[in-house]
Structures are given as structure tokens and as C-alpha cells.
Amino acid sequence: MRLMRLVLVGALLAALFAGWAGATISPGEKAPDFKLRDTSGQEHHLQVYLDAGQTVVLEWFNPDCPFIKKHHLNARTMNETFAAVQDQDVVWLAINSSAAGRQGAGLERNQKALVEYEMNFPVLMDEPGTVGRAYEAKTSPHMFVINSEGIVVYNGAIDDNRSPSKLGQMNYVQAALKAILSGGKVTKNSTLPYGCSVKYGK
């Protein structure tokens, strides 16, 4: 009994340490499952998309962040990247983890952004930040590409220009999607994301 208690305590400490050490979702790891509702109230369950054999792109989103405006308003990077693969079993989900009262938060603001940015994919509301923290999403945008087996195959920036106004030459998400949809391997599977900090609550 005492031995069992020690093992349990050890396991608990190991689990706590792993979390405290700040392990990131690295390419090759299983994507944490989630269920979130979008701005129209529809539920999105990651596992359901994966079970249907779909590739899922996650984009951390904050409609008022200048870097989101760069890719959604000044240019249509996200819309165009998705449009190019939309008919190839790819799902694109924007996730907003802004806490209530912080920049870009609230159903109304995001419903408006959906129209303003002419988005061709939904915005999922993650006000408590649970999903954002599970993925350790740092910035808006912060991009993840998950293959149909539920494995993260890309984690990082949308492109290679970290400026709030200038567009990059290399669209990493486009490259990752092209690779996996043609049965290949993602060569650049991790980059440093850039953008505004995700506006998590306490």
C-alpha cells in the first residue's frame, strides 16, 4: 500500500513537472482534442474532422491585432491559402482565445470580423483560453497544421516576414499543406510564430 502511494505521488510529481517544464506541441506529437463553438453557435470537434479523414489547420485569431489585419485585411493570406485547398478535405478553423474584456474578445466583435474580413472559415470562441493553453498558442496568428491522423505536422508562423505590414516570400502553411496533400513530408515543420500575444485571461 505504501509502495503504491509512493508510486502515485511520483507519477503525480512527474506529471506536474512535465507541465511546469512547459513542453510544447512539437511536430510529430498528437494534437490535443477539443470541442468549441463558433460565432454562430455551431460546435466544432477536432476528432470528428479527423475521423472524417480531414486535414485541419488552426489559426489563432484576434480581429484587432495588426498582424491579423495584415493577413486578413491588407492581404487575404488566410482566405487564399485555404481557398486553394478547400476542396481537398482541408478544414481551417480560426480560434480566438482572448479573455473577456481584452483586445479582440467577444462574440459580437468576432461576428463582425467574419463579415469585415470576408472570412471563408469559422471563428471558434475560446474565451477561457483552455484550447489556446493546450496548444501553447503564443501569438495571433499562430498556425498549426494537423494531418488526418491527428498529428501536428507544422507549428509556427504563417510566413517569413515578421513585420506588421510587409508580407513574406514563403508561406509555411501553404508549403506544409502542399506536402501532406501530395503524400510527401513537411520539410519545414516548425518556425517561430509571430504576431500579437494571445490575450489570455488569468
Q: Which residues ranging from 22 to 51 are in contact with other proteins (CB under 8 A)?
A: 22
> Which residue of 37, 44, 76, 102 would you call a contact of other proteins, by CB under 8 A?
102
- Of 100, 59, 96, the closest CA to residue 198 belongs to 96
Q: In a 10 Å sphere around its CB, with 0-12 CB exposed, 13-18 middle and 19+ buried, how is residue 6 labelled?
A: exposed
Q: Are 49 and 91 in contact (CB under 8 A)?
A: yes
Q: Does 106 bind other proteins (CB under 8 A)?
A: no
User: Is the CB of 44 or the CB of 133 nearer to other proteins?
Assistant: 133
User: Is the CB of 140 or the CB of 147 nearer to other proteins?
Assistant: 140
What is the C-alpha separation between 200 and 71, in angstroms, rounded?
Answer: 21
Q: Which stretch binds other proteins (CB under 8 A): 20-28, 76-84, 112-120, 168-176?
A: 20-28
What is the C-alpha separation between 192 and 188, in angstroms, rounded?
Answer: 11
Q: Is 155 helix (H, G, I), strand (E, B) or coil?
A: strand
What's the 3-state SS for 105-144?
A: CCHHHHHHHHHHCCCCCCEEECCCCHHHHHHCCCEECCEE
Residues composing the chain: 202
Q: Does 64 bind other proteins (CB under 8 A)?
A: yes
* Least CB distance to other proteins at residue 115 (A): 21
Respond yes or no on whether the N-terminal peptide bond of residue 164 is cis (omega within 30° of 0). no
Q: Is 81 helix (H, G, I), strand (E, B) or coil?
A: helix
Q: Does 74 bind other proteins (CB under 8 A)?
A: no
Rounded CA Rg of the chain: 18
User: Is the CB of 173 or the CB of 196 nearer to other proteins?
Assistant: 196
Q: Does 194 bind other proteins (CB under 8 A)?
A: yes
Q: Which residues ranging from 127 to 186 are in contact with other proteins (CB under 8 A)?
A: 129, 132-133, 136-139, 162-165
User: Is the CB of 102 or the CB of 188 nearer to other proteins?
Assistant: 102
* Least CB distance to other proteins at residue 64 (A): 6
Q: Which H or E run contains 160?
A: none
* Least CB distance to other proteins at residue 184 (A): 23
Q: Does 197 bind other proteins (CB under 8 A)?
A: yes
Chain positions contacting other proteins, by CB under 8 A? 20-22, 64-66, 97, 99, 102-103, 129, 132-133, 136-139, 162-165, 192, 194-202
